[in-house]
Structure 1
Amino acid sequence: MVNLGILAHVDAGKTSLTERLLYAAGVIDAIGSVDDGNTQTDSMSLERQRGITIRSAVVAFALDEDTTVNLIDTPGHPDFIAEVERVLGVLDGAVLVVSAVEGVQAQTRVLMRTLRRLRIPTLVFINKTDRSGARPQAVLDELRTRLTPAVVAPTAPDDELAEILAERDDDLLAAYLDADGPLPRARLRAALAAQTGRARVHPVYQGSAITGEGTDALLSGIREFLPASAGDPGAPVSGRVFKVERGPAGERIAYARLFAGTLAVRDRLPGGPEEKVTAIGVFDRERGTDIRRASVTAGQIAKLWGLSGVRVGDPIGTVPAGAAGGHFPAPTLETVVEPCRPGEKGTLHAALAQLAEQDPLINLRQDDLRREIAVSLYGEVQKEVIQATLAHEYGVAATFRETTTIHVERLTGTGEAVEFNKKNGNPFLATVGLRVEPAPVGSGVTYRLGVELGSMPYAFMAAVEDTVRSTLREGLYGWEIPDVVVTMTHSGYSPRQSHAHAIFDKSMSSTGADFRHLTPLVLMAALRRAGTRAHEPMHRFRLDLPADTLGPVMSVLARLRAVPDNPRTQHTGCVLEGAIPAAAVHRLEQQLPGLTRGEASLEADFDHHRPVQGPPPHRERTDHNPLNRKDYLLAVVRRVTA
């Protein structure tokens, strides 16, 4: 079994390559066309209409008598990078498709960097060699200069192959230097297979998915150089859910890769929701689609029914470290979604909640005060797709407000605050004290106890910690505080009180609600004393452009508050790199064609956050605003009393 991902920049031809591989394996009788909307893996109506992959899809084929390939076709557009991220953690190997016409593109570089960082064995296929303007040798040179020098054609002369492999293998280098003549071809092929399996080198093939040229060689490369899945069927169950979809009856269907163990129908997921698996589908090498089975074993990908609470990214048991997510940055844009018909707010929320099951990073943000729903985005195309999906699949016409940038807040100092039970106007039967301190970027929220764990019931302790984490989603300016150390410095409660007949008296006894309602007030007071500063997301950009257009482009970059490095001359053009606010990337994309005669190439992806200069941007709060004590208490106490 080989679980193989097909990855590429949009329009490089990966879905066409998937069709060709399925045809060569005898799974389909005719090759579908992306333009005609009849491919196997682009099954969504929107995918067929737009000619792009939006959701990952799995299909199987027989590589040989003993090996089955589960092939996962992934989106190529950068707005759907989250879909790619979920797939990376379940792969044994990958094929990165590069167009022989367009060459290395923005998403190509992002994908290869990630594949190499995760050490996923990867083959490269230079596609579209039959097209006018194809330049396969120039693209091979681009791979070496813009992706990695560790690419080599398996058919390269022995000397060239030996030199590349010896650079990454000391034993082979010694043998190469000591040999009187060329090293045996068999030893070079074995070394190529070993280094490919460790993601040190990447065999390169070329051809055309449309004509079939080169695909037999690629299949041979998959067989020879990509490792089969490993895992002990008798070990404890370990796996990960990487996709969730809805069936015809609205039931949730989870796609999961099993790293170890065996999962059978009627089993409960270890470490997961208390639900039983009611059905299992394993992908069939003859038909390509899933067929029902009684169980799934280590190394396989399966569809699981019966798990109504399952979400994308959920672990099954203990997941290997290399299968974790978080390979790409979170979205940096957001927008408010509104129904065109006011009476459909509930329907809209339900539809967006189902879309969030499939893509948790759209991160629904419900504002109960204004009855608004915000979603996070990677770009404008994703917004268009969500809008079209709502209309076509859920019958909800929706409009989107102007896209805005998602900022974060970082502490500028340390602050403390405390509220004591029954003192100084505290209406809650609870004592909570908190100290907040800055934490290193990327470290997340660390919660510590500066009081004895047994100083009050554990349920109250947990209520404070849970509320701290949820409250930090909206700091002083309404933005999330992602990196902070919070220490509980004071605690206290009113013990359980009962009347003569042992009836619980809530008015005299602390409850979890007391701590959940008091904690936001204390935390915001501590944050005020510490101070926060808003930070905006910055993308690292690279521009390849004609040298004579550098001046106008630099002027636009200045207006967009970009910080360019010194330009570098390259061939007949120049390369310009630097940092640009995430909010300005789309405007730069729109202006570049006119500035550069359509000859510029731009790639940009998130790099860091930088402090906002000038007045901090505010985001509307979705809570009862614990920064305003009077209004907060009016809202919360009235609700509690009611």
Structure 2
Amino acid sequence: MSTDLTKIRNIGVIAHIDAGKTTTTERMLYVSGARHRAGEVDRGTTTTDDDAEEQERGITIYSACVQFPWKDVSINLIDTPGHVDFTAEVERSLRVLDGAVVVFSAREGVEAQSETVWRQANKYKVPRIAFINKLDREGADFEAVFEEIEKRLGAQPLALQIPAGLGPAHVANPFRGVVDLIAMKLITFPEGKEGREFITAELPEDLLPEAQLWREKMLESLYDYSNELMELALSEEPIPEQLIRSVVRDATVHQQVQPLLCGSALHGIGVQQLLDAVAAYLPHPLEMPPVEGHEPVKSGKSDHGRRKGAVEAAAADQTGKKLVRKPDPNEPFCGLVFKILPFKTGDLYWVRVYSGEIKPNSRVLNAGKDFKENVSQLWRIHATKKDEQLQGAQAGDIVALLGLRESVTGDTLCDTRAPIVLESIEFPETVISVAVEAESSGDKKKLGETLDMLKKQDPTFRYEENEETGQTLISGMGELHLEVIQHRLERDFGLKIKVHKPRVSYRETVGGRAEVTGECNRLINGAQHTGAVKLRVEPFTPTGPLAAKLPPVVVSVDPGHGLPDDLLNVVIEELETAAAGSGTLGFPLMRLKITLVGGDVHETDSTDIAFRTAANLAFDKALREAGQVLLEPIMKLELSTPEEHLGALVGDLQQRRAIIHQTEQRATDTLVQAEAPLANMFGYSNASRSLSQGLASFSMTPSGYAPAPDEVLRVFLGD
């Protein structure tokens, strides 16, 4: 029997690290009856943080999926990491979800990773609810966080609740419950963290004035989305609760507002109301637009072949004929692989089903790569493990498939008779590397096989082997990311490895514009090969809607190039291959545009070999003449510290070549926003702890690349 899609909510819980995502998820499972006791992060007893590393560190590293009922709705919930090193887990989750709950700490407010996850939700057009957590904490400030969400995130928060009191039990007016602005009731939770019950009562006199002000603010925001609401207000007639809720739902689904609720997940305050809001305001699969894709284009080239060329090609390459799939079990099947986990019986592929149905022992098409896969089993996911074997899944479901072999994260699976390729998932580039080597020759082969498996699971993990040194360079998103990989190699796979100092992933570009000619005039095996290629190389930073689709190096062709098609194709292919490699310093190229201006063709002696050679010579010559520029990764830093340690921490940052952009007071702490080169931030966690007696906290997110100082460039030039 088909599931009623209107009763499904596919949601994620996203936030900055330590805002309380996992605690909120645990409390949701508890109040829904899915768990008999709420797990605690500090004790390592949470459902979704079931990895040993997560329990040891008290943070989420891997996204985990749980399904539970809430009243008449079935919720598929993905708990995601808050640490920037694991932002890929958020990226892949938001790509397949219909809604999100964004958690903010009432004390720290909007933090660096809060901005990142909000932007990711914007990118995938995910409707969301905001939840201000930890209102029972010292320094909690509901209004300040509300304003930050509005200003720093460019959001449209709509407060449906306000707190009754603020702060811990020992203050004069502690946080004791929430005020429902739609029903104008006070909701309290007498049993605290151990209970599921709450009491709804009339508002006391001391809360009424503030509640009325916030309610009026809420209604004024909603007048823009409902003429009926506006007319009732103008005629001073009572506004039905159900009408308000209906308008809130419509505005939320269309991403015009973000309902805002509040509470304390740790102490069991406000979580039932948050679940009510998830069911009432976040969309079900039928309310999401039909998923868009395109017909697979068979180019005859392998996936590992040429990069995209000209600017125009970057856009055209994305689309064959445009196709859509409605969230309907009667449509042809299509789904997206968004996560892969290893199991002894075979890898487990997490798939969001967008249309149609899928059953065990069926055959599906990987349309983007044009091969077929067998689906032997379907499983319901609980945390990161198989939970319940299924006899089928349909549009709107998130399930795990067993039996696939070659598909990877971001691949589309579909009906073999109705091919479609959905937009894949884009992941950020790695910024840091360390060299590792197996201590014994017996472990060397096992290390390679293990790294292959980890790379398949984690799209932001890379590795390459250096046959000369015997070392393997592993690359990731930060020190913590690589530390977790190292621990997995040692603990989970029993490998004995040596780990060397971390290295920064530099990039190269050019400082100016150069126009050069590369010539080939050679006698090879008795045959003359003659040709000349003229190139222009210049710095190029793409902007506008196409920017994200363009490769790091753009290869284009001047309309007056004058080369015949066969030689033009040879030159373009050679330039694209060269652009995908390294620059003169040995680092990947970016922010660069190469234009084929023209070439000289000999009547009898021009060959493919000649023009490939000439293109390579011109490329190398152009890079050198345009001037080498080394680009280093820059991190955006947000530091929170008590005032008395500010001077020491700022002084340390300045020694690390940091640029301080802003300092502001937030509750009892000072917030510092800065940018610093990643190369100078190694070991900063220990340094900041030492300088602040353990009282400072910070977060770093990649900000981009900037030219490195001359002294750093000279190191690589060997001066």
**Cα deviations by residue, 1:430-450 (Å, 9 ceiling, x for unpaired):** 968462343224543323455
- In the alignment, what sits opposite 1:62? 69
Aligned-partner Cα distance in 2 for 1:619–1:318: 49
**Cα deviations by residue, 1:359-392 (Å, 9 ceiling, x for unpaired):** 1212223334433322222222222211110012
**Is 1:464–2:561 an aligned residue pair?**
no
Distance 1:490 1:274, change over 3 A: farther
- CA displacement at 1:409 relative to structure 2: 1.2
SS at match of 1:97: strand
Aligned-partner Cα distance in 2 for 1:212–1:194: 29
Moved more, 524-533 or 156-165: 156-165
**Is 1:484–2:583 an aligned residue pair?**
no
Distance 1:464 1:587, change over 3 A: same
Aligned-partner Cα distance in 2 for 1:423–1:176: 89
Aligned-partner Cα distance in 2 for 1:292–1:273: 28
Alignment of 1:194-593 (within 5 A): 194-210=250-266, 212-230=268-286, 231-249=327-345, 251-264=346-359, 265-283=362-380, 290-293=387-390, 295-316=392-413, 318=420, 324-326=425-427, 329-411=428-510, 412-420=512-520, 422-423=522-523, 433=533, 435=535, 436-441=537-542, 443-444=550-551, 445-449=553-557, 450=561, 454-455=565-566, 464=574, 467-471=577-581, 474-488=582-596, 489=598, 523-547=619-643, 549-565=645-661, 567-568=663-664, 574-593=670-689
- CA displacement at 1:73 relative to structure 2: 1.6
For the 8 Å contact 2:160–2:218, the answer to whether it is kept is no
Aligned-partner Cα distance in 2 for 1:298–1:419: 58
Distance 1:572 1:247, change over 3 A: closer
Alignment of 1:76-115 (within 5 A): 76-100=82-106, 104-115=110-121
Moved more, 290-299 or 558-567: 290-299
For the 8 Å contact 2:93–2:338, the answer to whether it is kept is yes
SS at match of 2:586: coil
Structure 1: which amino acid aligns with 2:459?
Answer: P
SS at match of 1:219: helix
**Cα deviations by residue, 1:418-474 (Å, 9 ceiling, x for unpaired):** 35374599999796846234322454332345565742597x578536623432xx1
SS at match of 1:87: helix
**Cα deviations by residue, 1:532-588 (Å, 9 ceiling, x for unpaired):** 311112223344444554443443232111222364456666544332222334454
SS at match of 2:363: coil
Aligned-partner Cα distance in 1 for 2:579–2:117: 32
**So what's the TM-score if we normalise by structure 2?**
0.72
Structure 1: which amino acid aligns with 2:214?
Answer: E
Aligned-partner Cα distance in 2 for 1:369–1:492: 41
Structure 2: which amino acid aligns with 1:256?
Answer: V
For the 8 Å contact 2:111–2:638, the answer to whether it is kept is no
Alignment of 1:103-252 (within 5 A): 104-116=110-122, 118-128=124-134, 133=138, 135=140, 137=142, 140-141=145-146, 148=155, 150-154=157-161, 155-156=180-181, 157=211, 160-164=214-218, 166-167=220-221, 170=224, 172=226, 175=231, 178-180=234-236, 183-210=239-266, 212-230=268-286, 231-249=327-345, 251-252=346-347
Aligned-partner Cα distance in 2 for 1:394–1:415: 53
Aligned-partner Cα distance in 1 for 2:43–2:88: 26
Distance 1:353 1:19, change over 3 A: same
Gaps of 5+ in 1: 496-507, 622-642
Higher strand share: 2
Distance 1:620 1:314, change over 3 A: farther
Structure 2: which amino acid aligns with 1:414?
Answer: A
- In the alignment, what sits opposite 2:21? 14
- In the alignment, what sits opposite 1:39? 46
Structure 1: which amino acid aligns with 2:566?
Answer: S
Structure 1: which amino acid aligns with 2:353?
Answer: L
For the 8 Å contact 2:222–2:248, the answer to whether it is kept is no
Aligned-partner Cα distance in 2 for 1:421–1:235: 60
**Cα deviations by residue, 1:459-518 (Å, 9 ceiling, x for unpaired):** x578536623432xx1111121123333455598999xxxxxxxxxxxx99899x99888
Aligned-partner Cα distance in 1 for 2:22–2:586: 42
SS at match of 1:267: strand
Aligned-partner Cα distance in 2 for 1:517–1:246: 45
Moved more, 484-493 or 587-596: 484-493
Aligned-partner Cα distance in 2 for 1:22–1:171: 34
- CA displacement at 1:4 relative to structure 2: 1.0
- In the alignment, what sits opposite 1:630? none
Aligned-partner Cα distance in 2 for 1:515–1:426: 18
Aligned-partner Cα distance in 2 for 1:468–1:619: 24
- CA displacement at 1:347 relative to structure 2: 1.9
For the 8 Å contact 1:278–1:305, the answer to whether it is kept is yes
SS at match of 2:364: coil
Aligned-partner Cα distance in 2 for 1:42–1:30: 15
RMSD of Structure 2 on Structure 1 (CA): 4.0
For the 8 Å contact 1:456–1:491, the answer to whether it is kept is no
For the 8 Å contact 2:85–2:477, the answer to whether it is kept is yes
- CA displacement at 1:274 relative to structure 2: 0.9
**Cα deviations by residue, 1:600-623 (Å, 9 ceiling, x for unpaired):** 4434322232212214548999xx
Aligned-partner Cα distance in 2 for 1:188–1:396: 59
Aligned-partner Cα distance in 2 for 1:260–1:465: 41
Aligned-partner Cα distance in 2 for 1:466–1:608: 23
Distance 1:162 1:395, change over 3 A: same
**Cα deviations by residue, 1:40-62 (Å, 9 ceiling, x for unpaired):** 32333333333332211222122
Distance 1:482 1:233, change over 3 A: farther
Aligned-partner Cα distance in 2 for 1:116–1:82: 16
Moved more, 558-567 or 276-285: 276-285
- CA displacement at 1:228 relative to structure 2: 0.7
Aligned-partner Cα distance in 2 for 1:421–1:204: 71
Distance 1:124 1:571, change over 3 A: closer
Distance 1:268 1:492, change over 3 A: farther
**So what's the TM-score if we normalise by structure 1?**
0.80
